[in-house]
Amino acid sequence: MTQNKYPPGWNEERVQSVIDYYENQTEDEAVAEAEAGFQNESVTLMEIPTELVPVVLELISKHSADNLTMDRSKTPNTSTDI
C-alpha cells in the first residue's frame, strides 16, 4: 500500500476535513463561496498565456518573499519568529 505524502502542516485528518466540508456544502453555499472570491479587491483574476505561467509564478514568489522580508524587518526578533 502506498503512503500518502502531504504538504507541510497537512495530514490525513485535515484532508478528510476539507473533503467533508465540500461534500456537505449546499449548492447555495458553494455559489456564495465562489462569488465571495470575486469580491476580494486585494487580488485580480486574469488569463495569461500558458507559456508565461512559470514567469508569473516566479514573480509572485519573489513578491511574496520581498513582502515577508519587509514585514520581518518591522518586527522585533523574538523566539516566536519562524
pLDDT in tens, the chain (82 residues): 678 899 999 999 999 999 999 999 999 999 999 898 888 888 888 899 999 999 999 999 999 888 777 665 555 554 444 4
* C-beta separation of 72 from 81 below 8 A: yes
DSSP string, 15-67: HHHHHHHHHT--HHHHHHHHHHHHT-TT-------GGGHHHHHHHHHHHHHHH
Specify if 30 maps to a domain. Answer: yes
Specify if 22 maps to a domain. Answer: yes
Specify if 7 maps to a domain. Answer: no
Q: Which domain holds residue 44?
A: 12-74
Number of domains, the chain: 1
State pTM to two decimals: 0.48
Specify if 65 maps to a domain. Answer: yes
Specify if 32 maps to a domain. Answer: yes
